[in-house]
Amino acid sequence: MDTFALILTILVALFFTYTNGFHDSANAIATSVSTRALTPRAALAMAAVMNLAGAFFGTGVAKTVSEGLIQTPQGSKGMGILFAALVGAIVWNLVTWYFGLPSSSSHALFGGLVGAALAGGTEVLWNGVVDKIIIPMFLSPVVGLLLGYLVMTAIMWIFRRSNPHKAKRGFRMAQTVSAAGMALGHGLQDAQKTMGVVVMALVISGHETYGDPIPAWVKIVCALMLSLGTYAGGWRIMRTLGRKIIELDPPQGFAAEATGASIMFTTAYLFKAPISTTHVITSAIMGVGATKRVNAVRWGVAKNIVLGWFITMPAAALVAAAAFGVIDLAFL
């Protein structure tokens, strides 16, 4: 039963990674597709490859997820807590994908972990949750908004005397690089989050101890599932990011992607903080769009997106707590 529970939990973790991939594929490519810098299929193929590569660029985020948010639960109850956390995250991913809302898969996972831990009587490491999740959740969109505005302002000033048509053609080509950077950063951030969950499952089952290097097979399967999910494409969310917030042109798309990628790499390497790629790219798009004029951004759409950000963690936590209640009654 213990081996079956471990295998089932790992399979559900990989399915979460797949939903993360198609839910968040828009983060990397929506701007490039909307500006016609890349065709949809070429953009998805590029994003899938770069997601795969990004997963092997570090382990700091995985360590934070596996050790820094909840006390590692023990035994079959611990595996039930982890399973319920993943159910909460998956349900929220599917609901927000259906409605085309670019919410955070990362915060759905964190909410699921906290909700299941509280329901199962496992200690939540609140200092880690506040320092690594809550504070970055508030700061990263603000930084994305301001940095996107500044980067776009700098581009407008540097190219103020350039031929508009030539400049747009150049930025359309540059977007292949900035979109690749976004996809690489997404792989660096989001594949590691699932690695952290799988490592926690292996620790609970006694197959690993904290401090051991992440097994190569864990890195490979998490990277592959994220990559496959990305290639499946999240078209509903792509339309929201690429068109509904603001109509982007190539310089704006480049500025938003460059901003998002730089924030993801900085937080992963300097702070080992698992931030939301959704929060970063969406806020960067808003900041870039505001340089045209403030009312160029469809703030009504933006308000609904931000509201979704705030309810993601508690909503996923409630689903995870309910899932643990069912598991506890039925199996534990």
pLDDT value at residue 238: 58
pLDDT value at residue 86: 97
Residues 6+ apart with CB under 8 A from 330: none
Within the chain, what is the greatest distance between any pair of CA atoms?
69
Predicted confidence band at 301 (pLDDT cuts at 50, 70, 90)? Answer: low
Looking at residue 36, the DSSP 8-state letter turns out to be T
Amino acid in position 219: K
CA distance 24 to 8: 24
Pick 259 or 51 by higher pLDDT: 259
The secondary structure of 216-248 as a DSSP string is HHHHHHHHHHHHHHHHH--HHHHHIIIIIS---
Beta-bridge mates of residue 212: 210
Average pLDDT on 235-239 reads 59
Average pLDDT on 33-47 reads 81
Please classify residue 97 by burial: count the beta carbons closer than 10 Å to its beta carbon, then call 0-12 exposed, 13-18 middle and 19+ buried: buried
pLDDT value at residue 119: 95
Tell me how long the chain is: 332
- With the C-alpha atoms ordered 269, 171, 20, 322, is the resulting torsion angle positive or negative? positive
* pLDDT of 316 above 90: yes
Question: Considering the chain, what percentage of its residues have pLDDT values greater than 90?
Answer: 42
* pLDDT of 188 above 80: yes
What are the C-alpha distances in Å from 92 to residues 37, 196, 206, 241?
Answer: 31, 20, 30, 19
Pick 119 or 229 by higher pLDDT: 119
Predicted confidence band at 91 (pLDDT cuts at 50, 70, 90)? Answer: very high
By C-alpha distance, which of 17, 331, 24 is closest to 197?
Answer: 17
Question: Considering the chain, what percentage of its residues have pLDDT values greater than 70?
Answer: 91
Pair of tokens at residue 299: 């703030």
80 touches 88 (CB < 8 A): no
By C-alpha distance, which of 268, 68, 37, 41 is closest to 174?
Answer: 37
The secondary structure of 134-175 as a DSSP string is IHHHHHHHHHHHHHHHHHHHHHHHHTTTS-HHHHHHHHHHHH
Q: In this predicted model, what pLDDT tens digit does every residue of 239-297 receive, in sequence order?
A: 555 555 567 789 998 999 999 999 999 988 888 888 888 788 888 988 998 888 777 66
223 touches 146 (CB < 8 A): no
* pLDDT of 84 above 90: yes
C-alpha atoms less than 13 angstroms from C-alpha of 327 in its C-beta half-sphere: 24
Average pLDDT on 188-199 reads 91
Q: How many Å from the N-terminal Cα to the C-terminal Cα in the chain?
A: 11
Phi, psi angles (nearest 5°) of residue 63: -65, -40
Average pLDDT on 183-201 reads 91
The residue assigned the tokens 């496959």 is: 228
Q: Among 79-88, 94-103, 277-286, which is the least confidently predicted range?
A: 94-103
CA distance 285 to 226: 24
pTM above 0.85, yes or no: yes
pLDDT value at residue 209: 87
pLDDT value at residue 103: 77
Mean pLDDT of the chain: 86
194 touches 16 (CB < 8 A): yes
* pLDDT of 212 above 90: no
pLDDT value at residue 75: 85
The secondary structure of 39-65 as a DSSP string is -HHHHHHHHHHHHHHHTTS-SHHHHHH
